[in-house]
């Protein structure tokens, strides 16, 4: 799998970039256009490299503080036909499908772990769908709620924060969960009250023993096991850019259905079922975060070294070297 790396830096730094690229076995092509960048002034360098070598290459490039002087962007062409690329692929160990690019992981988790309006709207819709599925005994609606739910983003952010000890990321992800779920559950409870008043469903039918939704408020050993497996699969799909597998993870866990059942059960006076749903929710959240963090940690142990300094940590270190006060590395 080939990746194209576009770098914009001042002319003085461009020489160092080219030197690093020339000595990197995974790089198959190097192009440099002097003075092509007007803002900021400098050269534009385009590299082509195999994916499994990019993390090591970025580790060296981040040492040049490129993000402070210019920019570095990575794209993936759909098709590259090149014997030089094939030779570069053979020259480096590993496989592109298993390669981690830590900047990419951080970008995805950082973007998806924020409490944004879109995140909140998707979570509210998901919990509402779950509530409708519960009161109408619709498995399809419950599965749909699982797919729509955006909660894996903050959970993955928590996992990355635990492994990298990035407490600011942990706080941001926690805020998205701690604020998002109560709001979605409160609106679902309000919708349930309105539905009862309008006679849209029979509470007695919902409270009768129903094997289709019983799993939501009756957590067991397999609840945690499924959450652990889903968390591992979710992090692997995030690392490997396999979106189809990530959708399967959403369907396998009951975080959103559990939140929906808490709201419905409390409105209908079923505190026992509500408590069971809360336990189900906590088990799923814990299992996903622990296993996702374990996957990241195992990848690091297998590599037998710390991950490459990303643009966030590189900018932080550069600011310290210049004697500038430490700034928030996640602010643009």
CATH number assigned to the domain comprising residue 81: 3.30.70.120
213 with 284, same domain: the answer is: yes
Res. 306: pLDDT tops 60: no
140 with 278, same domain: the answer is: yes
134 CB contacts (<8 Å, ≥6 apart)?
142, 206, 213, 216, 257, 260, 261, 264
35 with 66, same domain: the answer is: yes
Res. 7: pLDDT tops 50: yes
175 with 288, same domain: the answer is: yes
150 with 255, same domain: the answer is: yes
Res. 184: pLDDT tops 70: yes
- Domain of 30 in residue numbering reads as 2-98
**Does 204 fall in a domain?**
yes
Instruction: Provide the whole-model pTM.
Output: 0.77
pLDDT at 96: 61
82 with 141, same domain: the answer is: no
256 with 280, same domain: the answer is: yes
Question: Final residue of a domain: which of 71, 98, 125?
Answer: 98
The mean pLDDT of the chain is 83
**Does 114 fall in a domain?**
yes
69 with 125, same domain: the answer is: no
120 with 268, same domain: the answer is: yes
228 with 163, same domain: the answer is: yes
**Is residue 203 classed exposed, middle or buried when 0-12, 13-18 and 19+ CB atoms within 10 A define those classes?**
middle
State the total domains in the chain.
2
287 with 218, same domain: the answer is: yes
pLDDT tens digit string along 102-146?
788 778 777 778 889 999 999 999 999 999 999 888 888 888 888
pLDDT at 319: 45
Q: Kindly give the residue spans of alpha helices, DSSP state H, lying in the chain.
A: 11-22, 51-62, 66-69, 83-91, 102-112, 117-135, 139-148, 152-164, 167-198, 203-207, 214-217, 221-239, 243-252, 255-267, 271-303, 311-321
8 CB contacts (<8 Å, ≥6 apart)?
37, 40, 42, 43, 44, 45, 70, 71, 72
- Please, which pLDDT band fits residue 328 given cuts at 50, 70 and 90? very low
3-state secondary structure of 324: coil
**Does 310 fall in a domain?**
no
- Please, which pLDDT band fits residue 177 given cuts at 50, 70 and 90? very high
């Amino acid at each position: 799998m080939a990746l194209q790396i576009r770098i914009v830096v001042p002319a003085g730094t461009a020489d160092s970039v080219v030197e690093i690229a020339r000595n990197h076995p995974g790089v198959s092509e190097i192009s440099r256009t002097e003075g092509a960048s007007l803002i900021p002034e400098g050269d534009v360098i385009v590299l082509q490299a195999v994916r499994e070598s990019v993390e090591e290459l970025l580790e060296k490039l981040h040492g040049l503080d490129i993000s402070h002087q210019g920019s570095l962007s990575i794209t993936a062409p759909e098709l590259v036909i090149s014997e030089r690329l094939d030779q570069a692929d053979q020259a480096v160990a590993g496989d592109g499908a298993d390669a981690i690019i830590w900047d990419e992981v951080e970008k995805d988790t950082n973007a998806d772990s924020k409490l944004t309006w879109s995140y909140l709207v998707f979570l509210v819709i998901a919990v509402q769908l779950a509530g409708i599925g519960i009161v109408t005994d619709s498995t399809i609606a419950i599965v749909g709620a699982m797919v729509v739910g955006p909660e894996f983003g903050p959970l993955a952010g928590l996992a990355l924060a635990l492994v990298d000890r990035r407490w600011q990321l942990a706080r941001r992800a926690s805020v998205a969960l701690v604020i998002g779920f109560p709001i979605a559950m409160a609106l679902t409870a309000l919708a349930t009250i309105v539905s009862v008043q309008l006679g849209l469903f029979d509470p007695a039918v919902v409270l009768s023993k129903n094997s289709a939704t019983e799993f939501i408020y009756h957590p067991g050993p397999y609840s945690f096991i499924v959450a652990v497996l889903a968390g591992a699969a979710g992090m692997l799909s995030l690392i490997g850019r396999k979106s189809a597998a990530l959708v399967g993870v959403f369907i396998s866990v009951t975080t959103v259905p559990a939140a929906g059942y808490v709201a419905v059960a409390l409105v209908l006076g079923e505190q026992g079922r509500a408590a069971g749903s809360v336990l189900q929710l906590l088990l799923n959240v814990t299992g996903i975060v622990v296993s996702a963090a374990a996957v990241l940690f195992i990848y690091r142990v297998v590599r037998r070294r710390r991950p490459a300094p990303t643009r966030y940590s590189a900018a932080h270190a550069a600011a310290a070297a210049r004697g500038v006060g430490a700034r928030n590395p996640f602010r643009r």
